[in-house]
Amino acid sequence: MEFTVKDNEALYQVWMSQKSKMRLTQMEFAKKLGMNQLEFSSILRGERPLSMAFVSRFCNLLNLESHRVVPSLRTQPNIKEVYLESRMTVDGEIKRAYIEGNQVVVEYLHTVFQPAEVTGSMN
């Protein structure tokens, strides 16, 4: 789905009103969205394109329904496809990632340190 300038403006206006009501800073909110403050600011100003994943997370964190906030979503009540994004962090080095049907499989190397053996008897 492609978003318009009006969609960007609507999100900006919502942000300006909600941040004071919820006592949020741009930096705190960006962190909740999983991005840095510069990325968040550039999306709000329209320098970077909106994505459905961003709009969904943005509205969800502000306890709002995206179809009530974004004009393009209001005019399309029967949206059939929604593009989402998932991220994960692993404790190790990713060696291989592949797709099996509707699953993404990530193989990674995790180093486990075993405690050194203690020698000697305890009397």
Residue 26 lies in a domain: yes
**Structural domain contains residue 13:** yes
Q: How confident is the model at residue 2 (pLDDT cuts 50, 70, 90)?
A: confident
Q: Is residue 105 part of a domain?
A: no
What is the domain extent for residue 65?
Answer: 5-74
Residues 6 or more apart whose Cβ sits within 8 Å of residue 43: 49, 50, 54
Judge whether 80 lies within some domain: no
What pLDDT shows up at residue 121? 60
Count structural domains, the chain: 1
Tens of pLDDT along 33-84? 989 999 999 999 999 999 988 999 999 999 999 888 999 888 765 656 667 7
pLDDT recorded at residue 76: 63
CATH code: domain of residue 35:
1.10.260.40
pTM above 0.85, yes or no: no
pLDDT value at position 98? 86
